Amino acid sequence: MPEKKNTNEKGLAKASSKALAKTAPKPKRPRRRSRGSQGRKKKATATLRIIPLGGLDAIGKNMTAFECNGDIILIDAGLMFPDDEHTGVDLILPDYTYILENADRLRGIVITHGHEDHTGALPYLLKDIDRSIPILGTKLTLGLIEGKLEEHRLSKQPKLVEVHRGGSTKLGCFELEFFTVNHSIPGAMGVFMHTPAGNVLHTGDFKLDETPIDGELTDFAALARFAAQGVDLLMSDSTNATSRQFTKSEAEVGVTLRSVIGAAKQRVVVAAFSSHIHRVQQICDAAQLAGRKVAVTGRSMLTNTRIARDLGYLNVPDDLIIDAYDVGNYPPEKTVVLCTGSQGEPLSALARMSVGEHKTIDIERGDTVIISATPVPGNEKSVTRIVNQLSKVGADVWDKNRALVHVSGHAGAEELKLVLSLVKPRHFLPVHGEATHLRAHARLAEAVGVDANNIFILDNGDSLVMSDGVVKRGEGVESGIVYVDGSSVGDIGANVLRDRQSMSNEGAASVAVVIDSKRGKLVSDPVITMRGIPGFDNDDFIVEARDKVAKVVRESLDNHKPDANRIKKQERDALSSFIWKRAHRRPIIMPIVIEI
């Protein structure tokens, strides 16, 4: 779908015309130099610093800072969802302390597309910055961001600046050109960055789908033009660098969806990423072809489909969509339920359906369930758990292991090699992936001719420094991760998380004693409470544990002056030793001493 120039779409802020975003229908003609493909003239004294703050240790929380001549811009501000090891954690953010410390120099934030791993940290970052920051993105990206910011009720709204692929803008000393990339969401873009120190090409997330359902191809002409200007540093998506194949086309998923939905005898439930608008479109198309109505459930799915429809990215007849509360008014064979939960999230719509706890929809024997996604690394156990629960109910479950109900939105190894060969970067930094993906991408770059000495594998917080087009390692900054737990942001440390994991795996116990500090006597028997420890509900077990602790405390009081800290340690050690011998558990133990 062609994008119009700064339309007044409902809910989107207008671009600040001259000061912030000056988009153009055609990119500027490249300026060549006699020294080869080094691009436009650079100032030898200028320095560009590239600082990845997230995205280099996992699939998620993507955030990279660029700093030049006192100006800073960010590309992306994403989050990551927790796995089973992050007990009680809702979200994981990159540590953006460096940005907060230099917020006065932040000129803008460029968002390459609307997925959570590129946008989810924005509300938290903006809450911590006490001034309005320009947020640059395409129309759908800004629409999804605006919906997210409304949920967080920010006191100071940012400036949402719509940019267009094929256009350009200037932020401080950064001249940015935007180009189309194909991904699993409309409006995805890459960024070509001109600075006085050199040129940087950031691909964003992409693949080379030659039959996309919306007709938006990755812009090869733009990549060739950038190569002619000179790409001093390429930063490229590494998610599928370990996959030897070309990534299959999204259109192929539509064929499978039409077949499975068309053959289903009862209700069909499809779980997908709420931001995968292309997939949502194909699910709706398949439902319409099969003569079924579509019910949408799950907060993020409802929000994103509404925004995509309002902005014209999701073309669905009004009479095709029904309210989830009205599903019972239609025969099961005439409905498709579109929901969240493809990653096994415990509170998602699909998870609730699988255990019969969804408020409007029950899955029955003979229903068809399609999980139209691949588990993000770390979520495999959660997804398997839900699949097993659905199977117990008697549902017919389809996932990627059974049929082509999902394809990736990221380029495979051969596609990555094509881009490297076309762009011909002087230096290369693989981004967006776990360690194995980054290293696999580095090997691909070396295979197509990039000098091994010019390929950099970084950790979050490391930096590169560019001057006159030459890139070297620089000094790092504070980095790490920030846990979000309910309304608490950053209050959970490693110790708290470790205690939660221990309580989850080993259980917890408390032991309280009352002592007469003047007489040095134990006033009454210890009171012991245990949770999650085998045998704790056995009276003999509790009595034996109580007697063990009482004996240790009495001996301590007989031999020493009353000391609450010493007694706490002794009662903890006594109870811990007893539980280990009897149940082979190391629970968290909370000792309490009351002095009278």
Q: Is the pLDDT of residue 19 over 90?
A: no
Q: Is the pLDDT of residue 539 over 80?
A: no
Q: Is the pLDDT of residue 419 over 70?
A: yes
Q: Give Cβ neighbours of residue 190 (< 8 Å, ≥ 6 apart).
A: 112, 178, 179, 180, 181, 201, 202, 203, 204, 206
| The predicted structure's pLDDT at residue 495 | 56
| The predicted structure's pLDDT at residue 178 | 98
Q: Is the pLDDT of residue 541 over 80?
A: no
Q: Give Cβ neighbours of residue 582 (< 8 Å, ≥ 6 apart).
A: 535, 541, 544
- The residue ranking higher by pLDDT, 36 or 509, is 509
Tell me the CB-side half-sphere exposure of residue 56, using CA atoms within 13 A.
23
318 catalytic residue (yes or no): no
Question: DSSP alpha helices (H): ranges in 85-121?
Answer: 97-101, 116-119
What is the residue-wise DSSP string for 314-344?
A: S---GGGEE-GGGGGGS-GGGEEEEES-TT-
CATH of domain 495-595: 3.10.20.580
Q: How far is CA 577 from each of CA 197, 260, 445, 553, rounded to the nearest angstrom?
A: 63, 57, 56, 14
| The predicted structure's pLDDT at residue 72 | 98
Q: Is the pLDDT of residue 104 over 50?
A: yes
How far apart CA 187 and CA 3 sit, in angstroms, is 9
- Please tell me the pTM assigned to this model: 0.78
CB atoms within 10 A of CB 243: 18
| The predicted structure's pLDDT at residue 87 | 53
In our burial notation (b when 16+ CB lie closer than 10 A, e otherwise), range 167-178 reads bbbbbbbbbbbb
CATH of domain 48-245+409-485: 3.60.15.10
- SS3 of 17, please? coil
| The predicted structure's pLDDT at residue 496 | 53
CATH of domain 250-398: 3.40.50.10710
- The residue ranking higher by pLDDT, 533 or 458, is 458
| The predicted structure's pLDDT at residue 84 | 55
* Residue of 484, 496, 492, 462 lying closest to 125 (CA atoms): 484
Q: How do residues 228-275 score in pLDDT, each as one tens digit?
A: 999 999 999 999 999 988 999 999 999 999 999 999 999 999 999 999
214 catalytic residue (yes or no): no
Q: Is the pLDDT of residue 83 over 50?
A: yes
Q: Identify the helix (H) or strand (E) that includes residue 580.
A: helix 564-583
| Span(s) in the chain for CATH 3.60.15.10 | 48-245+409-485
Catalytic residue among 358, 410, 432, 441: 410
CA angle at 135 for the pair 132 and 139, rounded to the nearest 5°:
135
* Residue of 195, 112, 69 lying closest to 471 (CA atoms): 195
- The residue ranking higher by pLDDT, 58 or 372, is 372
* Residues above pLDDT 90, as percent of the chain: 61
Catalytic residue among 76, 205, 232, 237: 237
How far apart CA 208 and CA 112 sit, in angstroms, is 16
| Span(s) in the chain for CATH 3.10.20.580 | 495-595
- The residue ranking higher by pLDDT, 195 or 88, is 195
Q: How do residues 284-294 score in pLDDT, each as one tens digit?
A: 999 999 999 99
| Span(s) in the chain for CATH 3.40.50.10710 | 250-398
